[in-house]
Amino acid sequence: MKKLLFFLSLIFSCSLFGQEHAWVYFKDKPSEATFMSSPLTMLTQRALDRRTKQGIALDSKDVPIETSYYDQIKAATGISVKAKSKWLNAVHVLGSVSDINALTSNFTFVDRIEFANRSLNTSSTAVARSAKVINNHKNKLQTKKPNYNYGDATNQIEMLGGDFLHRNSFTGNGIHIAVIDAGFPNVNTLPAFSRIRTNNQILGGYDFVNRSDNFYTGNSHGTHVLSDIAAYKDGEFIGTAPDASFYLFRTEDAANETPLEESLWVEAAERADSLGVDIINTSLGYSTFDNSNYNYSYSDMDGQTTFITRGAEIGASRGMLMVTSAGNSGNSPWKYISAPADANSVFTIGAVNQLEVIANFSSYGPTSDGRVKPDVLAQGQNVYIVNYFTGNNATSNGTSFSSPVIAGVLACFWQALPDKTNFEIMTLIRESADKFRNPTDHHGYGVPDFNAAYNLTLSVDEDSFNNFKVFPNPIDDLVTLNGIDGNLKEYSLKLYSVLGKQILHKQELTSNSINLSNLKTGIYFLNISNGNKSKVIKLIKK
């Protein structure tokens, strides 16, 4: 029997030998016009409302991949289709090199092939890829305010000013969060999650690894991550957004490390977008794989190379706030952030201990193209979670947990300021952090203060910035600043791209007219400030 089992195992191993992961990109979407004329066939009304609120138009990326293309690739000799992405108009396949390469000659709708093992890419159009580390603001303050006893979670919440938001009734209510992780065992039974179960705050989920509707399975990592946002044990442990609603998506196979997990993540993010999710938390990261031929280098952490990072950028462009852990490689030879933490539009979270001292394991920035990462920090060393097996509070370590701690407070903050865009929210929180003016490779912009960020936005509505306007908008070349009171030199101005990159900084204004003729067509955010008061206005460049 043992010999037979060994023989069968050898046959199975040989059958997998030579199987490669690759992305097959399509040239077009022939059904685009049909879908664009019926938006509800692509997105829920909640998703459409989120787009409208943030001024984001539908485009071809929202259109599903062509069904006939998918079916033909699926039926091709030697090809197994493992995932698909409408955002990137591609399918993830497994097959031999020859069978995969044959797709370009057999099907005219195939644009290009991109192998995970980049040494196999012969086309100049192939793009590189990466591995994992489970690691209305006019809203009045309500009179009925919760008085939580956070228990063991006190420090990690109060460090960020999350308790201030909670005391003012901003507890995540109305905000939908998707947690994309390695599994959620016992979330359906643990007392710590009984409150979100009873209140129907778990809106759904899916196991993309096993293609199953049973998402209460897999690795306990996701359960621990969720506890930092959603758990509720009064007097013992309360998460950072106890009244938010959740989708739970499993994309990570903790037993294996393959490029397929990147594609499953993108598929889950697309599902979250279509359901109208506001925030995605990702306590996963990719830089190395079981097969070293698929590994990424630091140069790949440039915000545009890996499949998951490209997907995350598109997710942010849809109006979702993408929050991810920086990685736990700070004291290893790699040391740097992993994908999708390198994405420009992703809010990347590093870790500190309870005294706000940087954790030595927290991965470093900058990105390989020189951008500041991580964005901000939260407690991730000696941080409390709810143990998935016992249901008891326990300490753990990892940016895997600093990310959901922040994600929950962001949900409360966005509830308080519902008219802000995802990029405006990120900008406000970066600017509230203790190292904003002097960011470092390890700290990024530092530990944020949500209390200060909220109070700053309130002060803006109560002062002379109420009269501030820009004209014209949309703009051609010159923009005029109207409604500025007092001395121009007391005002400073910053201009950010829609991805949060600072493009212009005037420390002192010398004129109320600014020449922006060098800007490309698109959306920008203008931040004008006077002392500790500021206002952000969206600019559209024709």
Which residues are tagged catalytic?
Answer: 181, 221, 400
Rounded-to-integer distance, Cα 377 and Cα 427, Å: 14
Handedness of CA 410, 411, 417, 421 (dihedral sign): positive
Cα dihedral 526/529/532/537 (nearest 10):
-30
Would you call the peptide bond into 340 cis, given omega within 30 degrees of 0 as the criterion? Answer: yes
Q: Report which residue type is found at 488.
A: L
Cα dihedral 206/211/214/219 (nearest 10):
-80
**Which tokens go with 12?**
């199975």
**Which tokens go with 134?**
């489970």
Cα dihedral 246/250/254/255 (nearest 10):
150
Strands 279-282 and 176-181: what pairing? parallel
| Tokens 């490689």, residue located | 329
189 contacts 234 by C-beta, under 8 angstroms = no
171: nearest Cα among 250, 232, 119 = 232
Q: 351 - beta bridge partners?
A: 378
Rounded-to-integer distance, Cα 342 and Cα 370, Å: 10
